Amino acid sequence: MKNQWKSLAEIPASEWIQLQRRVEKANGRVVVLVHPFFGDVKNLTGPEKYERYRQAVSALLHQSKVPVVILEEYKKTGRLASELKARNEHVLILPTNTNEPHLVLSFDKDQEPLPDEAYKELSKHLRFAGAKFVSIGGCIRINGCFDPM
């Protein structure tokens, strides 16, 4: 699986069909993680809280019977795909803009991300895949500090 797409428009139909099969087996459930490996979390939350968070994400990726979709910066999707493949964990990685949770639908003529209608597009794909229940988690920013969920 390539899973190194820079925009939603590049993701082949076969990946969405594979997600559909996994969602069907999970009775319509999907987990979406937004930037779960944000680099500064350890420094901003403290080592103990970060370690609990890291273990929870690892367990979710390794043991989940529910399909997992990760939103990650488009410049990091290739590296993340390689790391997860090495650990034999199948997830669908969707590209976001740099330092923002906005999905990238396509790029402009200068190769800058255009996030405009990307969440509507993701919603359309998740509905097509049969998703009825979507749980969202990851690293979030609260009042200027970061807190892993």
Q: How many Cβ atoms from other residues are within 10 Å of residue 81's Cβ?
A: 20
Return the closest-CA partner of residue 3 out of 92, 105, 66: 92
Mean pLDDT across 26-35: 89
Mean pLDDT across 73-85: 82
CATH architecture of 8-148: 3-Layer(aba) Sandwich (3.40)
CA–CA distance, 57 with 38 (Å, rounded to integer): 12
What's the confidence (pLDDT) of residue 25?
92
pLDDT, the chain, mean: 76
Mean pLDDT across 71-99: 80
The residue type found at 22 is R
> What residues form DSSP beta bridges with 133?
29
What's the confidence (pLDDT) of residue 5?
66
Mean pLDDT across 84-99: 78
What's the confidence (pLDDT) of residue 109?
62
Tell me the whole-structure pTM to 2 decimals: 0.76
Mean pLDDT across 134-142: 66
What's the confidence (pLDDT) of residue 84?
80
DSSP structural state of residue 10? G
What's the confidence (pLDDT) of residue 144?
42
